[in-house]
Amino acid sequence: MSETIFALSNGYIGIRGGFEERMGGNESRSIDGIYLNGFYESVPIPHAETGYGYALNTQTMLNVTNSKLIELYLEGEQFNLTRGTIIEYKRFLDMKNGCLHRNLVWRSPEGREVEIKARRVVPFAHRHLVAFEYRVKALNFSGKVIISSYLDGAVENHVHEEDDPRFSAALGGLGLKVKRIIADEEPVIMLQETQRSKLTLVCAMDHSLKDGPGAVKEISRDDHSVAVNYYFDLNEGETVGLEKYASYYTSLDYQVADLAGLASEMVTRGRAIGFNVLLEEQQGHLEKLWETASFGIDGDTALDQALRFNIFHLFQAAGSNGRTGIGAKGLTSEGYDGHYFWDTEIYMIPFYAAIMPEEARKLLEYRYSILDSARERARVLDHPRGALYAWRTIAGEEGSSYYPAGTAQYHINAAVAYAINKYIEMTGDYSLVLEFGAEIIFETARLWKDLGAYIQRKGNRFCYNEVTGPDEYTALVNNNFYTNLMAQWHLDYAYETACNLRDNYPDQYKRLAEKIDLDQKELQAWKQAADDMFIPFDGDLQIHPQDDGFLDKEPWDFAGTPSERYPLLLHYHPLVIYRYQVCKQPDVILAHFLLNDRFSLDQKCRDYNYYEPITTHDSSLSPSIFGVMASELGFYEDARWFFDLSARLDLDNCLKDTHFGVHMANMAGSWMNLVYGFAGMRTTGGSLSFKPYLPEGWKGYRFGVRFKGSRLKVEIKGREAVYSLSDGEPLSFQHRDKEIFLAGGEKVVLSLD
């Protein structure tokens, strides 16, 4: 698990927090890995009983060339933490500069004592570079010391856990193969290739020796690895320090012929910059982000730490180049095959739009880059027009092998449109719509029009049958509330966007309308379908049923369910789970959060009180949303409980699956829990508002957001809220019912009461 917690990433390269040296001993508990965002193998999906239109391949993020490996020999004794004696040991992550430290003192079985200080950093400023520092001090002996630094190409993805669908599909023997090693001199270079998709990866490494006595250097290699070996004569009390630079380039971004040159240049440059300067650069980059996020909780160190940790991972995951997204686990492990899901849009983009809007934009560009795949997928699903995004994918192809909780979740289309709107609400950057956003919005809206139907027996309303909503403990239902509501919003939004373009950007509109064959009649049909949308409501209970049949099911027997049978999905057949009223995560409640102004507080309250008790929160997507809504409804105890769970979900391994990687969506959710929950931020219709309160036991908390070019800091202290604006654009917003106007550099102090 700590390999996940200590994972570093710059959004392109991700490296788990394992040791530099091989684990030794029982390796079953270790998942070692280095990953490149967007770099995958296409693996055939074995359908025991196949069906028309089933996903044929899944794209699996590959564990790439191991550049982390460094081995140490003391007079022939190999350093290995599973042998000898650990006298001192400390591993820590410095979230100010993104540096992972490991300091230890070890006594070998034969009594030699060494101090080892290892550091590593994955520079944001150099996306293709990773840098290691490895310092060894002989404490009680003098003698021959060897440090061998490797590129190891014998990498595999880790075997999936057979009974757990959440981890990863079997890659079988489809790992990277070593094609060539160039090892005449440094930088040494390893060229690897994927077996099916024939993508090429080049990894180079270079070294720089700091401190210590002169060394003899020798390069060795075998079929699948190459090492640079340093031979020292070390005296007691002396230290050697080795800096190692590794670089990754792939044929996804560059010509195969250029890869070796690029990687070689990169490590040479890294070496020239040096480890300490890289760290300084990294700190500079992070300082700006921390300044924007301006985060703190006063009065609860554990939660302050937890949320900083989550925000740090969000910083680390950001690095989209417009052709890559952010996986459910970021680049911290192989869980879910490294796939991108809808939660990037619904959970993460609100964070990025508020802190790193350029990242939010890139993530949406990525969706545009796979729009053609989404169009193809729609055709397979028999829709003559429009686009349907893959439920899980890397390069666009649907990779979900269990369609009832995969492809049936059509609501991913609305998630993408919603995120575009959220981005525009937060940034005011309408150019995104003009450049590519409109095409996404329209093509995905078309799917909604084609998927639904006017159903006579439903008062001739527009209905969606045979869909799955966000809650995965119910599948293949008619009129899922969330789906219908989001489709309605999406169709309206597409109509309004089209009208706006038509009236205000006629040239762009004309070009796009011609490209995708869009006419006024189709726009009207969208509007009409939205107007006529069937929205499930139960008159007796005065709640929104999750779907047409939901209330006709028996309640789950929570009292008779022992705690060890959670999460339910690992302990009950889907036929059992689906038969009952039981939710894995928010569905109606998520719709309340996303389309907050559509429902009265009373209505939200009734729905919350109905669904919260039947929700297991077995999904990491659950607590943050319930937390935000609990805050809005004044259920402060609930709100706090959900916030605590969401904040420390990975640090405390609450779901017992952090070894599969951190839960990126929840990490962003925990930030929303504070900003949208405790501080009551909303951006509906592009208007910023806050309804902050102070959770019991805290002295205060603070956060920053970027909004339409302005940088606002919000600080809650005791019974007061302090809003301060950086120099720049003035900003209007609401504090509770009060309209506030702040000019650049101004600050206002307002009462919470």
Q: Output the smallest distance, CB 662 to its own copies, in A.
A: 21
CB of 409 to its own copies, least distance (A): 11
- Least separation, in Å, of the C-beta of 669 and its own copies? 24
Question: Looking at beta carbons only, is 548 or 720 nearer to its own copies?
Answer: 548
Q: How far apart are CA 175 and CA 481, in angstroms?
A: 42
Residues near 661 by beta carbon (within 8 Å), at least 6 away in sequence? 4, 7, 327, 328, 329, 330, 332, 333, 334, 335, 336
Q: Exactly one of 402, 566, 636, 641 binds its own copies (CB under 8 A); which one?
A: 402
The one among 25, 27, 29, 46 contacting its own copies by CB under 8 A: 46
Residue selected from 279, 346, 387, 463 as contacting its own copies according to rule CB under 8 A? 463
Is residue 380 involved in binding its own copies (CB under 8 A)? yes
Nearer to its own copies by Cβ, of 534 and 703: the residue is 534
Residue 541: CB atoms within 10 Å: 12
- Binding flag, residue 559, its own copies (CB under 8 A): no
CA–CA distance, 21 with 71 (Å, rounded to integer): 5
Q: How far is the CB of 476 from its own copies (least distance, A)?
A: 5
What is the rounded (10 degree) CA torsion for 478, 482, 483, 484? Answer: 80
* 400 touching its own copies, by CB under 8 A: yes
Establish whether 472 is a catalytic residue.
yes
What's the rounded Cα separation, in Å, for the pair 315 and 293?
10
Is residue 54 within the footprint of its own copies (CB under 8 A)?
yes
Stretch that binds its own copies, among 274-282, 463-471, 625-633, 664-672 (CB under 8 A): 463-471
10 Å CB burial of residue 165 (0-12, 13-18, 19+) is middle
Q: Which of 363, 496, 343, 487 is nearest to 414 (CA)?
A: 487
Give the neighbor-by-neighbor strand order of the sheet with 8-9.
Answer: 8-9, 13-15, 34-36
What's the min distance (Å) between Cβ of 380 and its own copies? 7
Taking a C-beta distance cutoff of 8 angstroms, is the pair 102, 10 a contact?
no
d(CA 253, CA 202): 12
Nearer to its own copies, 43 or 426 (CB): 43
C-alpha 254/C-alpha 39 separation (Å) is: 13
Partners of 59 in the beta sheet?
Answer: 42
Taking the least distance from each CB to its own copies, the nearer of 458 and 527 is 458
Where is 44: in which H helix or E strand? strand 40-44
- Site map (CB under 8 A) of its own copies, residues 145-174, x = contact: -----------------xxxx---x-----
Q: Counting contacts by CB under 8 A, is residue 553 touching its own copies?
A: yes
243, 365, 397, 472: which one is catalytic?
472
Q: Determine, following the binding rule CB under 8 A, whether residue 413 of this chain makes contact with its own copies.
A: no
Q: How far is the CB of 611 from its own copies (least distance, A)?
A: 17
**130, 270 contact by CB (below 8 A):** no
The reply to whether 572 sits near its own copies by the rule CB under 8 A is: yes
Q: Which is nearer to its own copies, 185 or 540 (CB)?
A: 540
Does residue number 381 form part of the binding site for its own copies (CB under 8 A)? yes
327, 61 in Cβ contact below 8 A? Answer: yes
Q: Which of 25, 27, 47, 372 binds its own copies (CB under 8 A)?
A: 47
Question: For residues 703 and 690, what is the distance between their CA atoms, to the nearest angstrom?
Answer: 12
Binding flag, residue 431, its own copies (CB under 8 A): no
Of 217-225, 566-574, 595-603, 639-647, the segment contacting its own copies by CB under 8 A is 566-574
**From 137-145, 291-299, 451-459, 625-633, span contacting its own copies (CB under 8 A):** 451-459
Strands in 70-74's sheet, in edge-to-edge order, are 77-78, 70-74, 143-152, 225-234, 216-221
What number of residues does the chain have? Answer: 753
Fill in the DSSP letter of residue 562: -
Q: Which stretch binds its own copies (CB under 8 A): 86-94, 105-113, 368-376, 571-579?
A: 571-579
Q: For its own copies, which is the closer residue by CB, 164 or 729?
A: 164
| SS3 call for 57 | strand
**Residue 184 contacts its own copies per CB under 8 A:** no
What are the CA-CA distances from residue 390 to residues 87, 371, 470 (Å)?
51, 10, 15
Rounded to whole angstroms, how far apart are CA atoms 111 and 95?
35
Nearest Cα residue to 146 out of 232, 205, 222: 232
Using rule CB under 8 A, residue 569 touches its own copies: yes
How many chain residues are in contact with its own copies, going by CB under 8 A? 54
β-strand pairing of 216-221 with 225-234: antiparallel
What is the footprint of its own copies within residues 467-496 (CB under 8 A)? Answer: 475-476, 478
For its own copies, the binding residue among 241, 261, 296, 404 (CB under 8 A) is: 404
Residues in contact with its own copies, shown as a per-residue x/- string from 575 to 614 under the rule CB under 8 A: xx-xx-----------------------------------
Stretch touching its own copies by CB under 8 A, among 210-218, 434-442, 570-578, 586-594: 570-578
Q: Per CB under 8 A, which region of 111-119, 395-403, 589-597, 650-658 contacts its own copies?
A: 395-403
Interatomic CA distance for residues 336 and 61, integer angstroms: 9
Residues identified as active-site = 472
Residues of this chain that interact with its own copies (CB under 8 A) are 45-54, 58, 162-165, 169, 380-382, 400-404, 406-408, 453, 455, 457-458, 463, 465-466, 475-476, 478, 540, 548-549, 551-554, 569-576, 578-579
